[in-house]
Amino acid sequence: MRAFLPRTGAHLLYNLALGSALVLAAPAWGPWVLASRKRRKNFFDRLGMRMDRVPPPSGKERIWIHAVSVGETLSAAPLVRLLRRRLPETEILFSTVTLTGRETADKVLGEETDARFYFPFDLPSISRKFIDRLRPDVVVILETEIWPNFLAECAGRKIPAVLLNGRVSERSLGGYARLRFLFSRALCCFTAIAAQTEEDARRFLSIGAPPGSVAVTGNMKFDVALPAQDLSPLYSLLMKEKERGTAWFVAGSTHEGEEEAVLRAFAKARGRNGSIKLVLAPRHPERFAAVGELCVRAGWETVRKTGVDPGRGDPLPPVVLLDTVGELLSAYAAADLAFVGGSLVPKGGHNILEPALFGVPTLVGPHMENFREISEIFRDAQAIAQVADGAGLASLAESWARDPSVVAGTGRRARELLAAFRGATGRNAGIVERELSRRRRERE
């Protein structure tokens, strides 16, 4: 591991820009942060102003795993569980950046991790403060979180930092390349970089990663599994409706500009088959109310999941708005057809493996850049159906309503593909164990 050189001009400019952004942009972000209790908590926690929420040293070895948001947290779950089984005496700490990431970590990994908290802002004093408090033995960063100051602190203390499930999208490659003078030094602070694909590995090397540190281990998202706990009560609620003859169309992780298209597609499908009902799950909690109003304006009787009595005996209305975090997997488990959002609008798509886990025929739009490798494999194997726009979504949903066999094979092939591509989690867990052992030897 080559030490990061913190006093280079590039690094000083980076710190100046980051510090200035926090200070000079305060009139813009200040009111937004202060308007929400949750955002205040996230912001001040990340500034290191509430260190009582960060666990002090316990005398045990510690692995600190960091994931940005919901998708990375869910893909980390099998890794956390595997490390917990293999290293039962080691503490596992888990950090996120976003509010929804933290909520998902609490819900999905609450019993599997020893502590959960927000990741610090990448300023030298704050990074130092967190590492002093936590004293990790290994730091695991998921996907593409390259924080120069944080990594410099790890390197300076000879704390192994590994990047797992690493990827560099085509869209972000140009930005990293332009700042290669900064990021190449940061990448040298990783003791190992485990890339998802050969293409990702080549991109890491092109922006300055040391060749000896980069390996291809696959994509942990293929190792998606059922949570340790049972599926949520939502699953039972939806299955009770299926016993009455309902067919569920589940639209998950939708973004602004997609719900209208989903509702039009649902109208087409229900026009063909009146037993079809919709579960609509917006990606961001702050949009729940607006999407609920949109459903009502579109003429649909709608109920929010949080407003459903678990003991309800009468049938649900045509539209169920999933206004909770962490229950989408339960909705997919009961689905007859799924649409995965972030793909009709240019958001890069979301995880198609969750519906695939249950063999659910799945539709996506044209924008799947964040899951490029997975979507290409599934598309080539005819294991997902990709549409060009909202009109294509409506047409395919209507065809499914008329004859479910039109897309039934895609679900079966998706489940078979998912089983065939598993294994990245085990390989990445091996890297963490290796680095922990190396750290242990260095201390002895």
- Which runs of E-coded beta strand occur in 283-381? 302-304, 319-321, 337-340, 362-364
The answer to whether 308 touches 316, Cβ cutoff 8 Å, is yes
Question: One digit per residue, pLDDT tens: the chain, 444 residues?
Answer: 444 444 466 677 777 767 666 666 666 666 756 666 667 778 888 988 888 888 898 889 999 999 988 888 988 999 999 999 999 999 999 999 988 889 989 988 988 999 999 999 998 999 999 999 999 999 999 998 899 999 999 999 999 999 999 999 888 898 888 888 888 989 999 999 999 989 999 999 999 999 999 999 998 888 866 554 567 889 999 999 999 999 999 999 999 999 999 999 999 999 999 999 999 999 999 999 999 999 999 999 999 999 998 777 789 999 999 999 889 999 999 999 999 999 999 999 998 999 999 999 999 999 998 888 789 889 989 999 999 999 999 999 999 999 999 999 999 999 998 888 889 999 999 999 999 999 999 887
Q: What is the pLDDT of residue 2?
A: 42
105 contacts: CB under 8 Å, gap ≥ 6: 67, 73, 94, 96, 113, 116
Report all structural domains of the chain as residue ranges with CATH numbers, in order of start. Answer: 9-19+36-218+423-443 (3.40.50.11720), 233-420 (3.40.50.2000)
φ, ψ dihedrals at 113, nearest 5°: -115, 155
Bridge partners (DSSP) listed for residue 193: 163, 214
Which tokens belong to 198? 């050969």
What whole-number distance in Å separates Cα of residue 75 and Cα of residue 220? 6
Residue 228's alpha-carbon distances to 108, 110, 225, in angstroms, are 8, 10, 9
Q: What is the pLDDT of residue 6?
A: 47
What whole-number distance in Å separates Cα of residue 391 and Cα of residue 383? 21
Length of the chain: 444
The answer to whether 154 touches 189, Cβ cutoff 8 Å, is yes
Q: What is the pLDDT of residue 337?
A: 98
- Which runs of E-coded beta strand occur in 206-246? 214-216
> What's CA 1's distance to the chain center, in Å?
29
Catalytic residue among 61, 72, 143, 435: 72
Q: What is the pLDDT of residue 225?
A: 63
Instruction: Identify whether 112 is a catalytic site residue.
Output: no
Q: What is the pLDDT of residue 246?
A: 97
The answer to whether 280 touches 372, Cβ cutoff 8 Å, is no
Q: What is the pLDDT of residue 115?
A: 94
